[in-house]
A = this chain, B = another copy of it.
Amino acid sequence: MNDRPTIFGKGDCSDCPIRDRAVCARCEPDELARLDGFKFYRKYAPGEAIIWAGDSLDFVASVVSGVVTLTQTMEDGRRQMVGLLLASDFIGRPNRKSIAYDATATTEVTLCCFRRSPFQDMMDSTPHLSQRLLEMTLDELDAAREWMLILGRKTAREKIASFLSILARRATGALGEVPGKDMTFDLPLTREAMADYLGLTLETVSRQMSALKRDKIILLEGKRRILVPDFDRLLGETGDDADGGVLV
């Protein structure tokens, strides 16, 4: 956002979302990057597993496009989503080889990957990198804490409204728009995945979606495209403070 220099800023990396987040390292054209083995792209199909909890991961990555979920599963099958990663979000962590959650592509996903060990070397030599990662992680932590309020204290209807407003904000925010009237966005998750996000059952999610539709808070175009005629009215259903509310 604020104009940091790209670290080794030569070449074109217009396709790399972490460029403007001061993380991107060597933005040579794709082919060359793949040759030097440091930066490479990887695609996943909808439903495909990226990693299972406990597996080791030899790269860190940035989401170029698509939606990745992080979930935890209990022995008896109860599942809770703990991360929802969209374009420009970061996967994996320096200094940990294995990760504690299942990561799954829920749409077609493209990752921009960096091999772990050169990435870690780079963190030592370029201080901006760990500062930038710190900032991104703090944002994740804020999101997790907002999520905890949703999980712990909100009603089913408030949970759904909160989830939709978060998605709406991210969808339009990425376009630099301000949420207002007649927002439209895609719902990249099944009812079941929404249930796992919100700590509900898929039946309850479905019922509450129907209720919001009945009350004209949202309109559905097909099952997976949402139209919000009045964003403030949606916000009114979240239970959050009227003022601002976006955690900053």
Quick one: CB contact mask for A191-225 with B, threshold 8 Å, 1 for yes? 00000001100000000000000000000000000
Q: Is A140 among interface residues, defined by CB-CB distance under 8 A?
A: yes
A145 and B144 in contact, given A79-B153, A127-B130, A152-B199 (Cβ under 8 angstroms): yes
Are B74 and A239 closer than 8 Å at their CB atoms? yes
> Which residue in B93, B153, B154 is a CB contact (below 8 Å) of A138?
B93
**Complex Cα gap A18–B8 (Å):** 33
Q: Is A3 among interface residues, defined by CB-CB distance under 8 A?
A: no
Q: Report the nearest B residue to A132, measured CB to CB.
A: B130
Q: Is A83 among interface residues, defined by CB-CB distance under 8 A?
A: yes
Chain B contacts for A133, CB-based, 8 A: 134
What are 12 A-B residue pairs whose CB atoms fall within 8 Å in the complex? A72-B145, A74-B149, A76-B239, A80-B153, A94-B134, A95-B135, A130-B134, A133-B134, A134-B137, A137-B137, A147-B148, A152-B198
Name the interface residues of A138-172: CB closer than 8 Å to any CB of B. 138, 140-142, 144-149, 151-154
Q: Is A41 among interface residues, defined by CB-CB distance under 8 A?
A: no
Chain B contacts for A127, CB-based, 8 A: 124, 127, 130
What is the number of residues of chain A that contact chain B, defined by CB distance less than 8 Å?
Answer: 48
Name the interface residues of A30-67: CB closer than 8 Å to any CB of B. none
**Complex Cα gap A236–B100 (Å):** 20
Q: Report the nearest B residue to A101, measured CB to CB.
A: B145
Chain B contacts for A198, CB-based, 8 A: 152
Of A9-17, A108-116, A175-183, A240-248, the one with at least 4 CB within 8 A of chain B: A240-248
Chain B contacts for A100, CB-based, 8 A: 142, 145, 247-248
Q: Is A4 among interface residues, defined by CB-CB distance under 8 A?
A: no
Q: Apart from A74-B153, A74-B240, A82-B148, what are 18 other A-B pairs with CB-CB below 8 Å? A: A74-B241, A75-B239, A75-B241, A80-B149, A80-B153, A82-B145, A96-B248, A98-B248, A133-B134, A134-B137, A137-B138, A141-B141, A141-B144, A144-B144, A144-B148, A148-B151, A151-B151, A153-B199
